[in-house]
Amino acid sequence: MLMKKTTPALLAIFLLACIPLLAQEESTDKEKIKKGWSFGAIPVVAYDSDIGFKYGGLVNFYDYGDGSNYPKYDQSIYLEWSRTTKGSGINQFTYDSEKLIPGVRMLAEASYLTEKALDFYGFNGYNAYYNSSFEDQDDLANYKSRMFYRMDRSMLRLKTDFIGKLPVENLKWFGGVEFYNNKIDTVDIGNLNKGKTEDLLPAIGGGLYGDFVNWGLIPTDQVDGGNTTLFKLGAIYDTRDNEPNPMKGIWTELQFLAAPGFLSNDYGYTRMALTHRQYFTLVPKALSLAYRVSYQAKLSGTMPFYMLPFVFNSTPQLTRDGLGGAKTMRGILRNRVVGEDFVYANAELRWKVLRTVVLNQNFYIALAGFADAGMVTGKYELPSVTDPDAITWLAQSEDESLHISYGAGVHFALNDNFIVTVDYGLAADKRDGDSGMYIGLNFLF
């Protein structure tokens, strides 16, 4: 469903600056070899009639050292801060360095994310019944609330990852730890209605999430969220020629994740994540084909429902919410595909249509066409229920199958690392929504 609740009045998303702070540069052909520090920044201004006016921005600093490894950087600092007038917000800091610990790449993250209207559709893909008319206020016969498939979540995430070389060429070890504190609630309709000329109808009973709680489909000790500490260990094989937008090479990673029950975790479990990415040059320096395939699954233990919708990647990519949306399956509703085990894949054709130097900064524009797909391969088992409304709801479920989307994007890159991306995706099946536009940083993978 194209979000009728949203007026995507994106007033500004452009490059504010990319100014070298320690500017000694040498040119090779048309490109400049960057040295020292530079940065890029974009403001984000948007409006959503339900969650309010969004304002803020982000900035990414890069240290290229003496320039001998350009376009690779020695270290980077990423800062993002944004708010909406109804209480949603992003507070994020990441530090990525191969300089702090010699021979080891480290990425540290501290994020506090508040979402007043986070998508919640249930579990197991098409097993979770979705009816877009429940959110469509023009459908008077079926409309419930624009917040029916929404919940409230505040999340603190702290993360540190390390990557180091192994004796085998291109093979690396990977380890890290992540901490999550999730606080879950139904949507605060009263807060979202503040300042509105036309009140947002309440999702009776707290919407679908409230129904799941009342029906006993959410364990009572998980209703309000909880804490999780994850330890990660794995290996990476990497032959890419360039990290931000490779033209050739592969990246294959296998990682195991453990949440020990004795370590202040509300639940103990183990998971694995296997991801393969490959890049092919079709036209040197101009046209490439890239694809990614990932399988992630529970190995043992019990996972709380609030830890299901996460996709794990190794440094420098961050942990993402589940399948659907900007970073996994563009055009499909965010968190539409949630289960204990899942597989997803992406394919992109990338064409650099313009390369030049602007104000001493390397700059290129790339166009992309893409296709995304994924599905649940291992179900999250729901408890048995006796409530007749719950039985009726669950009886509307359908067999899970492949979720597919497709679309196109445009990318604006400064100094090969600061990349502003605009993607537009279409869902192939109306049960997954309609379409979505996404503006952010970096290629998908």
The answer to whether 267 and 304 are in contact (CB under 8 A) is yes
- Model confidence at 12: pLDDT above 50: no
Q: What is the spatial distance between Cα 294 and Cα 273, in angstroms, rounded to a whole number?
A: 7
pLDDT at 87: 82
Separation of CA 210 from chain center: 25
Ranking 39-53, 80-94, 124-138 by mean pLDDT, the lowest is 39-53
- Model confidence at 9: pLDDT above 50: no
The answer to whether 156 and 123 are in contact (CB under 8 A) is no
Q: Which pLDDT band holds residue 85 (cuts at 50, 70, 90)?
A: confident
Ranking 47-61, 105-119, 174-188 by mean pLDDT, the lowest is 47-61
Q: Which pLDDT band holds residue 32 (cuts at 50, 70, 90)?
A: confident
CB-based burial of residue 381 (10 Å sphere; 0-12 exposed, 13-18 middle, 19+ buried)? exposed
Summarize pLDDT for 394-434 with one digit per residue, the tens.
999 999 999 999 999 999 999 988 999 999 999 999 999 99
Pairing of strands 287-301, 341-358: antiparallel
Q: State what percent of residues in the chain have pLDDT above 70.
A: 90
The closest of 287, 289, 183, 273 to 234, measured between CA atoms, is 273
DSSP string, 76-132: EEEEEEEEETTS-EEEEEEEEEEEEETTEEEEEEEEEEEEEEEE---SSGGGS---G
- Model confidence at 52: pLDDT above 70: no
Q: State what percent of residues in the chain have pLDDT above 90.
A: 72
Q: Which pLDDT band holds residue 54 (cuts at 50, 70, 90)?
A: confident
Separation of CA 131 from chain center: 24
Full-model pTM: 0.87
pLDDT at 140: 87
The per-residue pLDDT of the chain, averaged, comes to 89
Summarize pLDDT for 88-111 with one digit per residue, the tens.
899 999 999 999 999 999 999 999
Ranking 35-44, 130-139, 300-309 by mean pLDDT, the lowest is 35-44
Higher pLDDT residue, 6 or 337? Answer: 337
Q: What is the spatial distance between Cα 267 and Cα 227, in angstroms, rounded to a whole number?
A: 9
Higher pLDDT residue, 440 or 348? Answer: 348
- Model confidence at 306: pLDDT above 90: yes
- Model confidence at 184: pLDDT above 90: yes
Summarize pLDDT for 322-339 with one digit per residue, the tens.
899 999 999 999 999 999
pLDDT at 1: 39
The answer to whether 320 and 314 are in contact (CB under 8 A) is no
Summarize pLDDT for 217-276 with one digit per residue, the tens.
999 999 999 999 999 999 999 999 988 899 999 999 999 999 998 877 789 999 999 999
Domain 6-441 has CATH 2.40.160.50: yes
Q: What is the spatial distance between Cα 248 and Cα 240, in angstroms, rounded to a whole number?
A: 6
* Coil vs helix vs strand at 248: coil
Give φ, ψ of 223 to 5 degrees.
-55, -40
Summarize pLDDT for 333-378 with one digit per residue, the tens.
999 999 999 999 999 999 999 999 988 889 999 999 999 999 999 9
Extended strands (E) in 1-51:
6-12, 26-28, 31-33, 37-48
- Model confidence at 8: pLDDT above 60: no
Q: Containing H/E element for 391?
A: helix 388-394
Give domain limits for the chain: 6-441
Preceding amide of 316 cis, omega within 30: yes
What's the per-residue H, E or C state across 147-174?
CCCEEEEEEEEEEEEEEEECCCCCEEEE
Q: How far apart are the first and last CA of the chain?
A: 26
